[in-house]
Amino acid sequence: MNRYVYKAKDKTGKLFSGEVEASSESYAANLIRKKGLFVVSINNRDKNLFFFLTKKGKKVPYGDIVAFTRQLSTMINAGLPIIDSLLVLRNQTKGEMQRIV
Query: What is the separation of C-alpha 80 from the centre of its chain, rounded to a whole number of angstroms?
Result: 27
pLDDT at 42 over 70: yes
Name residue 6's beta-bridge partners.
Answer: 18, 42
Could you tell me the pTM of the whole model?
Answer: 0.47
pLDDT at 82 over 60: yes
The pLDDT confidence band at residue 94, using thresholds 50, 70 and 90, is confident
Its sign, for the CA torsion 44, 45, 50, 51, is positive
- Rounded to whole angstroms, the Cα distance separating 25 from 58 reads 27
- At 96, phi and psi to the nearest 5? -65, -35
Q: How does DSSP classify residue 45?
A: G
